[in-house]
Amino acid sequence: MLQLQHMKRIVEACYPESLDEARALWHDIKPVKFGESQTWINSTFLPLATYQIPEDGAYMVILRTECYVTTFDETAVGFGQFSPPPSGSAAWQFTDLTSGNTQYRITPQVAMHVLCDSDEMVFAKGDHLLQLIISTTPPDAVVRFIRTLVYGYLCGSLVAGRIGSGESTYYSITDE
């Protein structure tokens, strides 16, 4: 249901002039869900979600990222319960494009809650390795897991020409 609502949102953002045009735009969108589960035991940069955008995909449009923290240590507070995303800062970046030791960011490094558990519209150019990274420190020595699910949509040239043509695909090549 959520994916259908997201696809409708993308089509509406294209401002179709007719039902036939809306159908063509709808068929130019392919939903993709991806994400990872990472062990969170020390202060580090963690990849929370990674996706190789196909070379024939004009854009990946990210509309929702869900993230939560849990622990399976039965002696720990919050055992087996879902907690909000971890504190720290996060950014979307292309990890296959580098300049020295830095990746090409497509969003600024912002507070984790800005990119996770919120609706957004992030555009990523096709034929790149897209990654959501976080810089964070765990609150204590308890082993936790960060689980992330991304609702992305591969959009072809019809949609890209309408809503993605003016998008910048790179934010920065620095660590800031």
pLDDT digits (tens, 9 = 90+) for 76-98: 777 777 888 888 899 999 888 76
Of the listed ranges 18-22, 36-40, 170-174, the least confidently predicted one is 170-174
What superfamily would CATH give domain 30-164?
GOLD domain (2.60.120.680)
pLDDT at 21: 94
What's the rounded Cα separation, in Å, for the pair 152 and 51?
10
**Under a CB-based contact definition with an 8 Å cutoff, are residues 145 and 71 in contact?**
yes
pLDDT at 16: 92
What's the rounded Cα separation, in Å, for the pair 101 and 165?
29
pLDDT at 138: 85
Tokens of 72: 């399976």
Tens of pLDDT along 31-52? Answer: 999 999 998 887 778 889 999 9
Q: How confident is the model at residue 27 (pLDDT cuts 50, 70, 90)?
A: very high
> How far is CA 139 from its chain centroid?
24
E runs forming strands in 81-143: 89-99, 102-105, 110-111, 118-125, 129-136
Q: Could you state, in order of their start, the residue ranges of all structural domains in the chain?
A: 30-164
What's the rounded Cα separation, in Å, for the pair 165 and 163?
6
In whole angstroms, how far apart are CA 12 and each of 24, 27, 58, 104, 134?
Answer: 12, 13, 18, 29, 31
Q: What does pLDDT average to over the chain?
A: 84
pLDDT at 149: 93
**By C-alpha distance, which of 130, 134, 138 is closest to 83?**
138
In this structure, the number of other CB atoms found within 10 A of the CB of residue 53 comes to: 21
DSSP 15: -
